[in-house]
Amino acid sequence: MIETINIMLAGPRGKMGTEALSMIKETEHFNLVGCIDRKHNGNSVQDIDGLPTLDAPIYTDAEEAFDRINADVFIDLTNPDSGYNHTKLALLNHIRPVIGTSGFSEGQLDELRELSTNQQTGIVIAPNFAIGAVLMMRFSQMAAKYFPNVEIIEKHHDQKLDAPSGTAAKTAQLIKEVRGSKRQGHPNEKETLEGARGAEVDGIRIHSVRLPGFIAEQEVIFGQGGQTLTINHHSSNRQSFMSGVKFAVEQVMTIDHFVYGLENLME
Ligand SMILES: NC(=O)C1=CN([C@@H]2O[C@H](COP(=O)(O)OP(=O)(O)OC[C@H]3O[C@@H](n4cnc5c(N)ncnc54)[C@H](OP(=O)(O)O)[C@@H]3O)[C@@H](O)[C@H]2O)C=CC1
Ligand SMILES: O=C(O)C1=N[C@H](C(=O)O)C[C@H](O)C1
Distance CA 172, CA 71 (A): 34
Would you say residue 132 has pLDDT above 80?
yes
The third-level CATH classification (topology) of the domain covering 5-125+239-264 is Rossmann fold (3.40.50)
Q: Is 126 touching ligand 1 by the criterion CB < 6 Å?
A: yes
Question: Which tens digit of pLDDT belongs to each residue from 191-231?
Answer: 999 999 999 998 999 999 999 999 999 999 999 999 999 99
- Answer yes or no: is the C-beta of 137 below 6 A from any ligand 1 atom: no
Tell me whether residue 86 is one of the annotated catalytic residues. Answer: no
Q: What is the pLDDT of residue 1?
A: 75
Q: What is the ipTM of this complex?
A: 0.99
Confidence of residue 26 (pLDDT cuts 50, 70, 90): very high
Answer whether 166 contacts ligand 2 (Cβ < 6 A): yes
- Determine the Cα angle at 139 with ends 208 and 207, to 5°: 10
User: Is 188 annotated to bind ligand?
Assistant: no
The yes-or-no answer on residue 94 being catalytic is no
Residues making up the chain, counted from first to last? 267
Residue 152 beta carbon below 6 angstroms from any ligand 2 atom:
no
Indicate the top mutation candidate among 45, 99, 102 to test ligand 1's pocket, ranked by most ligand atoms within 8 A of CB: 102
Is 258 annotated for ligand binding?
Answer: no
Read off the pLDDT of residues 145-183 as tens digits, 9 standing for 90 and up.
999 999 999 999 999 999 999 999 999 999 999 997 788
Among 16, 101, 102, 131, residue to substitute to test ligand 2 (most atoms within 8 Å of Cβ): 102
Q: Tell whether residue 102 is among the known ligand binding residues.
A: yes
From the candidate CATH numbers 3.30.360.10, 3.40.640.10, 3.30.1490.20, 3.40.50.10710, the one assigned to the domain spanning 131-236 = 3.30.360.10
In this prediction, residues 113-140 reach a mean pLDDT of 98
Phi and psi angles of residue 159, each rounded to the nearest 5 degrees, phi first: -95, -5
Query: Is 128 flagged in the annotation as binding?
Result: yes
Ligand 1 proximity of 10 Cβ (cutoff 6 Å)? yes
What is the per-residue pLDDT across 47-103, written as a single tens digit (0 to 9) for each?
Answer: 999 999 999 999 999 999 999 999 999 999 999 999 999 999 999 999 999 999 999
Q: Is 9 exposed, middle or buried (0-12, 13-18, 19+ CB in 10 A)?
A: buried
The pTM of this model reads: 0.96
Q: Rg for the chain (alpha carbons), in Å? A: 19
pLDDT at residue 2, rounded to an integer: 86
Break the chain into its structural domains and give their ranges: 5-125+239-264, 131-236
